[in-house]
């Protein structure tokens, strides 16, 4: 279903065709709406999601893939954001608008009422010294806030800094579950040593961490056995954190940007995956089948894929017709671990 906020934002972006514009493209942005953007030299996109960046490039848009804290030297007349799911990201971009906008430049924020959009618009007005008002169209709020005299920055939980968390890891806002150990991933690791023995996965095997986040599964797996690791994610923030954790933990592994492994050609002895089931604000029913198919496509003929999912997700049913052998190896009230082989 089309995200109406993204659709309306694209209309505003196209209307600003004579002005230098910067668009922060987060996971809440509807990828289908990119096709409606009119390419122009004075429009720059920064996306922290790899599939959105790939689509933008394919459509001839001027896009870069990076975290939103990337250095930007020029100033713009227009900044655009479809309200993101995570508050620190929205606050960080509002704060950055003070340096990125010329005086009386416009920050456009748009999103649904349930996204907290009106509150964000009010905060941006106060920060930028503007008297703009939120416009409501059904359930969608739009704020076009001019930059005058910036005040006290909004709290963003140190978005621009990697922060130590439990288990000797570093992470930051923008990664799912950024400040904790995911209990599903921890449950998978509890089963892994026995699974490696059962399926005769040898030391030095190749491992693909599919949807790596800040690198928890890779780091913990490497403490059980010595692997040749490739970690991949679509999230620029996650990749930055994972690279740092590999350096800190002295893991000689690759960290690659991809959309569910779409930039990776080789096959692996072992694949570990804790797949997401949300895209932006919405539950995405297509994600689990996509992760399963990509796992199969990247698995050696005698390889092993190990998934952990919430107990209510019928992964074993979705895996039928994709994998030849499906085995629920552990289950508790919250999660289940499923071993898959070709």
Same domain (yes/no): 233, 334: yes
The full DSSP string for 140-176 is EEEEEEE-SS--SPPP-TTTTS-EEEGGGEEE-TTST
H or E segment and range at residue 300: strand 299-310
**210-225, pLDDT tens digit by residue?**
999 999 999 999 999 9
Q: Is residue 152 part of a domain?
A: no
324 & 200 share domain: yes
- Whether 31 and 70 map to the same domain: the answer is yes
Q: Would you state the pLDDT for residue 285?
A: 53
Strands 299-310 and 335-341: antiparallel
pLDDT digits (tens, 9 = 90+) for 138-177: 999 999 999 999 999 999 999 999 999 998 999 999 999 9
Counting the structural domains of the chain, the total is 2
Q: Which domain holds residue 246?
A: 163-341
Whole-number pLDDT of residue 4: 96
Question: Are 258 and 298 contained in the same domain?
Answer: yes
In a domain, 154, yes or no: no
Q: What is the DSSP string of 125-136?
A: HHHHT-----EE
CA 249 to chain centre: 23
172-213 pLDDT tens trace? 999 999 999 999 999 999 999 999 999 999 999 999 999 999
Residue 339, pLDDT > 70, answer yes
Residue 1: pLDDT band with limits 50, 70, 90: confident
Q: What is the pLDDT of residue 280?
A: 45
As a whole number of Å, the end-to-end CA separation of the chain is 34
CATH number, residue 36 = 3.40.50.150
Query: Can you give the pTM of this predicted structure?
Result: 0.93
pLDDT single digits (tens) 287-299: 799 999 999 999 9
Residues 132 and 187 in one domain: no
CB 22 within 8 A of CB 100: yes
- Mean pLDDT of the residues in the chain: 95
> 313 and 179, same structural domain?
yes
Q: Based on the fold, state whether residues 85 and 60 are members of the same structural domain.
A: yes
* 200 plus 309 within the same structural domain: yes
Same domain (yes/no): 85, 195:
no
* Helices 117-128, 87-100: inter-axial angle, 10-degree rounding: 30
**What's the confidence (pLDDT) of residue 284?**
44
């Amino acid at each position: 279903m089309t995200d109406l906020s993204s659709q309306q934002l694209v209309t505003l972006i196209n209307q600003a065709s004579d002005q230098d514009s910067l668009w922060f493209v987060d996971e809440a942005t509807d990828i289908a709406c990119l096709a409606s953007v009119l390419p122009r030299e004075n429009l720059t996109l920064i996306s922290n999601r790899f599939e959105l960046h790939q689509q933008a490039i394919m459509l001839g848009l001027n896009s870069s893939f990076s975290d939103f804290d990337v250095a930007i030297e020029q100033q713009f007349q227009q900044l655009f954001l479809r309200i993101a799911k995570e508050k620190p990201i929205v606050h960080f971009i509002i704060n950055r608008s003070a340096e990125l906008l010329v005086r009386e430049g416009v920050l456009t924020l748009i999103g649904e009422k349930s996204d907290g959009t009106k509150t964000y618009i009010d905060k941006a007005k106060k920060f930028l010294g503007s008297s703009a008002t939120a416009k409501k169209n059904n359930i969608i709020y739009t704020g076009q806030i001019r930059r005058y005299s910036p005040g006290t920055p909004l709290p963003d939980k140190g978005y621009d800094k990697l922060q130590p968390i439990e288990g000797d890891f570093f992470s930051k806002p923008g990664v799912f579950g950024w400040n904790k150990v995911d209990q599903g991933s921890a449950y998978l690791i509890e089963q892994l040593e026995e699974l490696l023995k059962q399926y005769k996965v040898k030391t030095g095997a190749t491992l693909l961490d599919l949807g790596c986040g800040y690198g928890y599964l890779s780091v913990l797996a490497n403490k059980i056995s010595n692997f040749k690791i490739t970690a991949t994610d679509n999230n620029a923030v996650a990749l930055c954190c994972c690279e740092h954790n590999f350096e800190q933990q002295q893991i000689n592994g690759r960290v690659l940007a991809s959309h569910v492994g779409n930039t990776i050609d080789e096959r692996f002895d072992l694949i570990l995956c804790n797949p997401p089931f949300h895209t932006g604000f919405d539950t995405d029913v297509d994600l689990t089948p996509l992760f399963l198919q990509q796992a199969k496509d990247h698995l050696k003929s005698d390889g092993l894929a190990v998934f952990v999912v919430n107990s209510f997700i019928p992964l074993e049913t979705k895996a039928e017709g994709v994998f030849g052998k499906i085995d629920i190896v552990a289950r508790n009230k919250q999660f289940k671990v499923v071993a898959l082989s070709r």
